[in-house]
Structure 1
Amino acid sequence: MIYFDYSATTPMSDIALQTYHRVATDFFANSRSLHTQGIESEEVLSLSRQTIAHALDAMDREVYFTGSGSEATFLALTGLALANQKRGRTIITTEGEHHSVHQALTFLQQRGFTIIYVPLNQYGQVTVNTLQAVLTKDTVLVTIAHANSEIGTVQDLYSLGKTLAEHDILFHSDCVQTFGKLPIPTEILSSVSLSAHKCYGPKGVGAAYIDKDVSWAPFLNGTTHESGFRAGTVDVPAIAAFAAAIDEFLPVAKQEMKRLKDLRQLFLTSFENDSRISFEGHPIKRLPFHIGLRVKGVEGQLVMLECNRNGIAISTGSACRVGESQPSRTLISIGRTPAEAHELIRITFGRQTTHEEVMLLINTFKQLLSRYKGD
């Protein structure tokens, strides 16, 4: 099976696997225990926190480990909103956010917060003008993902953040798809959510960055782990593997993104004159390893199953939406009809992707298109 679903998850790197095994074997003690083994485990945790903080150009005490990127998003958004509700109770977001964002905002809406959705343009972008148009005096928090996992568009967080800073509005961004791959402008962000398994680390580990000068409230009172941010014994081996994966990948990330961008262009060039294919997302400001497309008149699930039958793994969008009958909120929000939204497929490349594999994908896709054209 050839894997083209790296936005859903990535395989753990060898270094991450080796680190997990070593730490789970030699530093298995609870990091909160006061004996020698516990202190050693705490030291591994501390070093891992330093690594993630350094990758974000942040301070160690601004990084909190969680059980997933979704949990990091939920705890960050609820923590920021509840701690700062005296400043305002209106939160701005987009329809194109990850499911975990909508979950957190539904929770807050049930507690009296007002949620406003800023419009997206045809590429899924938020512009400074559209953002300014929906700001109110009561706006306390804005949450906009760095990159959309379904169509690949990357937002200009810096410009949006500068606008929000002028109004003293908190700014959170889901950076799960971009951490380790694209620069994250933490200098203009109040909070960020991350996930290990999107960057060659283990599943079941995430992290939140929260600016040291921003107030947040714990979701569960009385929690001692992670400075009260998240309850539960910390998974030190998995966190160490997360840090090892990032530490290994960052030095080669820029070169790797260039390689994957070239492979992406190879695919696009092969189908640029096919009128049945529509590529979604911004043509330039996007994830370099990501292809979101629609085949006119053919449901994405059918294309995915046909590729699977030929030994190729792709997806029909966010893995967190599998099983939903509703069309993608992202596609609907950028003007696609429900039928068009159901046509979406996502192809994403990663470290193990080769030129030969992409050529096989292209040939398989051409055969599929020919079959459905009736040629």
Structure 2
Amino acid sequence: MRKVYLDHAATTPVRQEVLDAMMHVFKEVYGNPSSIHQFGRPARKLMEEAREKVAKAINADPKEIVFTGSGTEADNIAIVGGARANKKKGNHLITTVVEHHAVLDAFKALEKEGFEVTYLPVDAEGRISVEDFKNALRDDTVLVSIMHGNNEVGTIMPIEEIGATCRERKILFHTDAVQTVGKIPVDVKAINCDFLALSGHKIYGPKGIGVLYMRRGVRTQPLYFGGGQERKLRPGTENVANIVGLSVAIELAVAEMAEESARLSVLRDKLIDGILNNIEETRLNGPREGRLPHNVNVSIEYIEGEALLLSCDMKGFAASSGSACTSGSLDPSHVLMAMGLTHTTAHGSLRLSLGKSTSEEDIDYVIEQLKPIADRLRAMSPVWEKFQKGLPIT
């Protein structure tokens, strides 16, 4: 049976070049980078070289790069720390209803501390309105967080205009770029962001390493205490091997981005058309244009999502129903619900995310296998039977 991995938005395999660089650190450069002796200095040198590579990839200054344990941690330091550090300036925050839970849960925690949060709605394609954003701004707005590309439906947000408005009004602007770095161009100066989060394991680097870009002169507060590492924002001995691995991964991803994104866009569109044309009562979630090159999200009506995922797995291809961080939840996707889908339609959603290993033969195989899966599951569905008979579906 063919094995096809189409869950790259959840995580990616580690590239051999990344693994080789990490193994060198594990074997040869084991000193503490905070130590000034001959064993610590090489570790510090590798770490600072890695910082330069990451900064170059997003057009930042190396001094603006903070290594974290994950993209989630980077989001939290920016949002929670940034709001707390600037509370005297104002109490109002803005985000969207379709953010990753790393962002949404941070805002919910801040609400418990007394902050007021405006959650911007999205349209049927998962995109916010810049006009809605501008109308939500208040004199006491101190921080805005809008994701760059949505992790579930692939929608690219208009963050350049949002960033420009925030910069003009001296409001902190954070963007979660975990799904976009290495996939589409990311330039912190063009975005006008004060904070940006990215993650190593989304770009063929190791898990357990992320980056917070923090523009020089911006204030935030640490969430942890105990050391002076990473500008006192991420205390604890640095994970040099993971940091080096991340830097190799991001350097390769950016170098190959134009060619790889073009290749994936062709495969993405073929997969979308194959599903929509071969299986009746299906819909694309998210836009055709302005979509991440590796993302496909479809709803196959009148099918239960968990059964769909298990059936896909039995046929050898890995997919998901949305964010990997909430895969154990029985609730429908908050992103799809915010886009106006019904519970039934949202439950039958399938996210297929492509990557370096994805071939045209893989796409052909998935298209071929999905129709009999859908037919079999619908044959067992009382809702599908009602639909075919023209009966009302509640």
TM-score range, shorter chain: over 0.9
Using the TM superposition, give the Cα deviation of residue 13 of structure 1 relative to its aligned residue in structure 2, in angstroms: 0.3
State the Cα deviation string for residues 73-130 of structure 1 (Å, max 9, x = none): 1111112111111111111111111111122112222222111101111111112111
Using the TM superposition, give the Cα deviation of residue 327 of structure 1 relative to its aligned residue in structure 2, in angstroms: 1.7
Using the TM superposition, give the Cα deviation of residue 12 of structure 1 relative to its aligned residue in structure 2, in angstroms: 0.3
2:132 aligned residue: 130
Which amino acid is 1:65 matched to? F
Contact 2:303 2:378 in 1 (8 A): no
Contact 1:304 1:315 in 2 (8 A): yes
**Residue among 120, 123, 132 paired with 1:118:** 120
Aligned length in residues: 375
Matches within 5 A, 1:162-311: 162-187=164-189, 188-221=192-225, 223-273=227-277, 274-311=279-316
Report which stretch shifted further, 101-110 or 69-78: 101-110
Q: Equivalent residue of 1:88, what SS?
A: coil
Using the TM superposition, give the Cα deviation of residue 213 of structure 1 relative to its aligned residue in structure 2, in angstroms: 2.4
Identity of aligned residues (%): 35
Stretches of structure 1 lacking an aligned partner (at least 5 in a row): none
Report which stretch shifted further, 241-250 or 2-11: 241-250
2:367 aligned residue: 362
- What CA distance in whole angstroms lies between the structure 1 residues aligned with 2:374 and 2:328? 25
Report which stretch shifted further, 77-86 or 4-13: 77-86
**Residue among 351, 364, 372 paired with 2:356:** 351
Which amino acid is 1:251 matched to? A
2:383 aligned residue: none
Quick check: 1:320 aligned with 2:322? no
Cα RMSD of the aligned pairs, angstroms, is 1.4
Using the TM superposition, give the Cα deviation of residue 374 of structure 1 relative to its aligned residue in structure 2, in angstroms: 4.6
Using the TM superposition, give the Cα deviation of residue 211 of structure 1 relative to its aligned residue in structure 2, in angstroms: 0.6
State the Cα deviation string for residues 52-80 of structure 1 (Å, max 9, x = none): 00001000110000111111111111121
- What CA distance in whole angstroms lies between the structure 2 residues aligned with 1:166 and 1:334? 30
Contact 1:127 1:160 in 2 (8 A): no
Using the TM superposition, give the Cα deviation of residue 371 of structure 1 relative to its aligned residue in structure 2, in angstroms: 2.8
- What CA distance in whole angstroms lies between the structure 1 residues aligned with 2:114 and 2:72? 22
Q: Equivalent residue of 2:212, what SS?
A: strand
- What CA distance in whole angstroms lies between the structure 2 residues aligned with 1:36 and 1:104? 41
2:53 aligned residue: 51
Contact 1:128 1:163 in 2 (8 A): no
- What CA distance in whole angstroms lies between the structure 2 residues aligned with 1:271 and 1:309? 19
Using the TM superposition, give the Cα deviation of residue 276 of structure 1 relative to its aligned residue in structure 2, in angstroms: 1.1
- What CA distance in whole angstroms lies between the structure 2 residues aligned with 1:172 and 1:339? 34
- What CA distance in whole angstroms lies between the structure 2 residues aligned with 1:130 and 1:124? 14
Contact 1:20 1:240 in 2 (8 A): yes
Using the TM superposition, give the Cα deviation of residue 239 of structure 1 relative to its aligned residue in structure 2, in angstroms: 0.6
Q: Equivalent residue of 1:36, what SS?
A: coil
- What CA distance in whole angstroms lies between the structure 1 residues aligned with 2:129 and 2:164? 12
Using the TM superposition, give the Cα deviation of residue 372 of structure 1 relative to its aligned residue in structure 2, in angstroms: 4.0
Contact 2:148 2:157 in 1 (8 A): yes
Q: Equivalent residue of 2:157, what SS?
A: coil
- What CA distance in whole angstroms lies between the structure 2 residues aligned with 1:217 and 1:57? 24
State the Cα deviation string for residues 168-214 of structure 1 (Å, max 9, x = none): 21110000001111112311111001100000000000010011021
- TM-score (normalised: structure 2): 0.92
Which amino acid is 2:326 matched to? R
Which amino acid is 2:77 matched to? L
- What CA distance in whole angstroms lies between the structure 2 residues aligned with 1:368 and 1:36? 60
Stretches of structure 2 lacking an aligned partner (at least 5 in a row): 381-394
Q: Equivalent residue of 1:189, what SS?
A: coil
- What CA distance in whole angstroms lies between the structure 2 residues aligned with 1:356 and 1:55? 32
- TM-score (normalised: structure 1): 0.97
Using the TM superposition, give the Cα deviation of residue 231 of structure 1 relative to its aligned residue in structure 2, in angstroms: 1.7
Q: Equivalent residue of 1:293, what SS?
A: strand
State the Cα deviation string for residues 112-154 of structure 1 (Å, max 9, x = none): 2111101111111112111112111111111011111111101
Quick check: 1:71 aligned with 2:73? yes
Report which stretch shifted further, 196-205 or 219-228: 219-228
